Amino acid sequence: MSKGFTLWFTGLSGAGKSTLANALEIELRQRGSRVEILDGDVVRTNLSKGLGFSKEDRDTNIRRIGFVCHLLSRNGVAAISAAISPYRDVRNEVRGMIGEFVEVYVKCSVEACAKRDVKGLYAKALAGELPGFTGVSDPYEEPHNPEVVVETELESIEESLGKILTYLEKSGYIHRVEAKSTTR
């Protein structure tokens, strides 16, 4: 059985957490890992239905995601969380619960996230029509010491994914893939 761990993507809405999580899932499956993604939007629809966006409800949501990641990772699964998780204290609490925890800060400015926003949420938040929006009218606390920082407004998906895979390989979470020989 492979070593389980949790890869915790954190960052603003639209920063690229889900995009990277999905790309990473494909790569890890190709390497033979068992993988599950807990996407923030999907979890809110299923596991955390009924929760609002107060600090208490957001923390409860993150604790629920963390608990499921803990169960998965202790059973040899690479659990990938892609949720904003705006508050540092609850992220650190989840880190302590899980143990094998890799925090990836998906760094992207509010301006770049707003340009990518297909749902128009940033426009509403910046116009004051959507109160409590993370990064605009509600805080986002950047991680102090994430294991990996990817800067999605400066890097391609491939470059960001490469940083994550390199960290996971060097830390022994996944095996390094040898380059395929082109000779016959």
- Name the residues annotated as catalytic: 85
CB atoms within 10 A of CB 10: 27
Tokens of 10: 């954190």
Q: Do the beta carbons of residue 104 and residue 72 sit within 8 Å? A: no
